[in-house]
Amino acid sequence: MVKKRASIFISGKGSNLKNLIKKSREYNFPISINLVVCNNPNSEGILHAKKNSIPLLIIDTKKRNFENKILLYLKKYKISLICLAGYMKILSKKFLNNYKKIIINIHPSLLPKFKGLNTFSRILENKEIKTGCTVHYVSEKLDDGNIISQKYFYINKNDNEIIIKRKTQIQEYLAFPEAIIKIYRYN
C-alpha cells in the first residue's frame, strides 16, 4: 500500500509520537511518519525522532514567521496529514488557511467536555464518573472540530490526577491510531 506522509507535532514527552512510530511500521497502517515538528528544544520526544532517523524541525515560536518555516518543511516533505500530539501551541488562522490538507489533534478529555488546559484537575473537581480522550479534526476554535474517535474509562474513587493521566494515555495509544485508520478507510 502507498502510505500517506504524515508529520507529528509535539512539545513534550512524545509518548503518542513513539506509539505512532511503532504503528506506522505495520504493513497495513495507512501513514508513514516523515517529519516531526517540535517547539520545545528540551522535549523528550525529540529523542524518538532522532532514534528513528525521522527528519526533525525544532522551531522557536518567539521568532516572527515561524509558521512559514513549518509550512515550507511540510511542503518539502510532502506531508498530507498533521497529527498534533501534545503540541501546546495554537496554530494560527493563517496557518490553517495555508495548509489545505488534514490536521487532527488528540485531547485528554471526552470533548466537548473540558477543553483547554489543566484537564485532569477539572475532571476530578467536577466529580466526573468517566473520562477519556478524543481525536478530532482541527478547526479555528480551540479543541473544537468534528470528532473522529473517542475512548473512555470509569473513574475510581481513589484515582488522582497522575492515575487519571496514565489511564487516559493508555486510551490515547488506541484512539490515535484508530482515528488515522478511520480517516483513510475509504480513500
Residue ranges that bind ligand GAR, judged by CB under 6 A: 10, 12-16, 45, 85-86, 106-108, 133, 169, 172
Q: Which residue is closest to ligand GAR by CB?
A: 86
Residue 133 or 179 having the CB closest to ligand GAR:
133
Between 107 and 151, CB nearer to ligand GAR: 107
Residue among 4 and 151 whose Cβ is closer to ligand GAR:
151
Q: Which of 4, 107, 136, 151 is catalytic?
A: 107
Nearer CB in complex with ligand GAR: 30/132? 132
Closest CA to 106 of 42, 154, 151: 151
Strand order in the sheet with 130-137: 56-58, 31-38, 4-10, 81-84, 102-107, 130-137, 147-154
Distance CA 132, CA 143 (A): 14
- Nearest approach in angstroms of CB 46 to ligand GAR is 11
Cβ 85 to ligand GAR shortest distance, Å: 5
Q: Could you tell me if 133 and 167 are in contact, meaning their C-beta atoms sit under 8 angstroms apart?
A: no
**Does residue 136 carry a catalytic annotation?**
no
> Three-state SS across 79-101?
CCEEEECCCCCCCCHHHHHHCCC
User: How near is the Cβ of 142 to ligand GAR at its closest, in Å?
Assistant: 8
Question: What residue has cell string 481525536?
Answer: 135
Minimum gap (Å) between residue 169 Cβ and ligand GAR: 5
Active-site positions read: 107
